[in-house]
Amino acid sequence: MQPQRKTLGLATVLGSYILWGLLPGFWTLLAPVNSVYILAQRILWSLVFMAVYMLVTGSLGQIAAAFRDRRVLRQSFLCGILITLNWGIYIYAVNSGHVLDASMGYFIEPVLVALIGLLFFKEKPSRAEKLTFCCALAGILYLLVRTGRPPLLALAVATPFALYGAVKKDLALSPQASLTMETLLMLPFSLAFSAWWTARLGGSGAVMGGASFWLLPACGMVTSIPLLLFNVGVKEIPYYFTGILMYINPTLQFLMGLLYFHEEMNVDRLIAFAIIWVGIVLTLAEKITVIRREKAAL
């Protein structure tokens, strides 16, 4: 793997996680709107954004080719289901006042990513990365022992996205075409629910009134940009390393839940957070050192 491509992968995945970490602030602006309707509109407007992007870049031919490949079509449909589940559960968590639970889900997700990378991609983590995984597990187990109940909402957020990234790893499509295909294949479900919900409330004015008129279309941009960055980067760096970088996302969400949404904080959450970040710092320091050495050797 060329150092330049590895650096690009690192930068794009890092950027996607930072943007995702800040998204709770956007979704709460739509809190009065039904969560499933927000999800349906998110799919619709993401497709609009990506269709324009593909048209401008002259890449629409990739979509036609994807429909002729049954394996790519099946993988794209599976990716669409998984990312839709992740989006929907996450929106529900944020708009029902569970930002900290959502952030814990994204703390758990890298552990699932690591297991997938080891078991299915035969990836071999370094010593520092192994310590990171151990710290993550220790933090999660600490919370489980202290609270006495499984983090069901957190697991529901984590699992679809971990599986989504694994399927994307082996998908023979460009990041742009892949994201377009996923939203396109989910479009019939999006339109069906949007039509039913709009009719149920008595017309589009009842759903799209006020700020929602502008914020729902903006879902396409705030969804597609970070996901596009992630899709570019996930093919360029080891899958388990995307899991390690993933901790940036829940850390930002954690801080937003604490400082912006003023959700309840307790000592147990803080201790688990500190345990996990000890491991993250070890691996980030190691990776920065390796990338600098590779650049110096050129």
- Rounded to an integer, the average pLDDT of 60-71 is 92
Whether residue 209 contacts residue 27, with contact meaning beta carbons closer than 8 Å, is answered with no
Please state which of the ranges 6-10, 24-28, 99-103, 294-298 shows the lowest mean pLDDT. 294-298
Range of the domain at 81: 3-297
How many C-beta atoms lie closer than 10 Å to residue 243's C-beta?
Answer: 25
Whether residue 91 contacts residue 27, with contact meaning beta carbons closer than 8 Å, is answered with yes
Both tokens of 78, joined, read 């599976």
- Residue where the block lists tokens 């600098």: 292
Distances (CA, A) of 74 to 69, 71, 77, 78, 168: 9, 5, 5, 6, 12
Tally of structural domains, the chain: 1
- Rounded to an integer, the average pLDDT of 195-211 is 70
Q: How many CA atoms lie within 13 A of 5 on its CB side?
A: 8
- pLDDT at residue 183, as a whole number: 93
For the cut 60, the answer to whether the pLDDT of residue 204 exceeds it is no
Kindly report, residue by residue over 221-273, the tens digit of the pLDDT: 888 888 888 878 877 777 667 766 777 888 888 888 888 888 877 788 788 87
Distances (CA, A) of 80 to 74, 156, 160, 183: 10, 16, 10, 6
Whether residue 24 contacts residue 257, with contact meaning beta carbons closer than 8 Å, is answered with yes
- pLDDT at residue 240, as a whole number: 66
Ranges 98-107, 183-192, 209-218, most confident: 183-192
DSSP for 100-130, please give it: HHHHHHHHHHHHHHHHHHHHHS-----HHHH
